[in-house]
Amino acid sequence: MRVGIGRDCHRLVEGRRLVIGGVAMDSPRGADAHSDGDVLLHALIDALLGAVGLGDIGDHFPDTDPQYEGADSRDLLRRTVALVRRNGMSVHNVDATVMLERPKLGPLKQQMREQIAADLGISPGRVNVKAKTAEGLGAVGGGEAIEAEAVVLLEE
């Protein structure tokens, strides 16, 4: 077994789509990013790379590379999973938390779980997505930022 942890943060700005866990949210503000800015999938990609000891998302998909402009993070996730498999590992389970003030993730959490599970090649019951507000405190509480963290367990 190998464990990995990942964390990500994006500034929220007007005129950008907000995509979390591969699901487009109904929000007037979205993540300011080179790719689609999917904070949850970026944290998960870092956790996967961490567990196999292969650095971080910036090493594999640099934001200075024009080929990742507007990149679909689900595509980056699937490429990361392929890398995990090439290293002789498979994903056992994932736990993740998204921190944002609004909108509420609510029922969309189930859709996120299903999409992430499909990309990881495991059942949705092995992917947990939690949502928390920052109780109005700091950049997340003020609606200026979104954060996520993820933990994965891999098995040989």
Q: Which is nearer to Zn ion, 126 or 151 (CB)?
A: 151
The residue assigned the tokens 């490429």 is 79
Cα–Cα distance, 39 to 80 (Å, whole number): 15
> Smallest gap, in angstroms, from Cβ of residue 33 to Zn ion?
6
Find the shortest distance in angstroms from Cβ 116 to Zn ion: 15
- With respect to Zn ion, which residue has the nearer C-beta, 37 or 108? 37
Contacts (CB under 5 A) with Zn ion, residues 38-77: 42
Query: Residue 119 CB, nearest distance to Zn ion (Å)?
Result: 16
By C-beta, is 42 or 109 nearer to Zn ion? 42
Residue nearest Zn ion, CB atom distance: 42
Binders of Zn ion among residues 85 to 144 (CB under 5 A) are none
- Please list every residue from 3 through 32 that binds Zn ion, using CB under 5 A: 8
The tokens of 4 are what?
């990995």
For the residues of the chain, what is the DSSP string, one character each? -EEEEEEEEEEEEETS-EEETTEEE--SEEE--SS---HHHHHHHHHHHHHHT---HHHHS-TTSGGGTT--HHHHHHHHHHHHHHTT-EEEEEEEEEE-SSS--TTHHHHHHHHHHHHHTS-GGGEEEEEE--TT-HHHHTTSEEEEEEEEEEE-
Nearer Cβ to Zn ion (148/154)? 148
Question: For Zn ion, how many residues bind (rule: CB under 5 A)?
Answer: 2
Nearer to Zn ion, 62 or 136 (CB): 62
**Which residues of this chain interact with Zn ion, rule CB under 5 A?**
8, 42
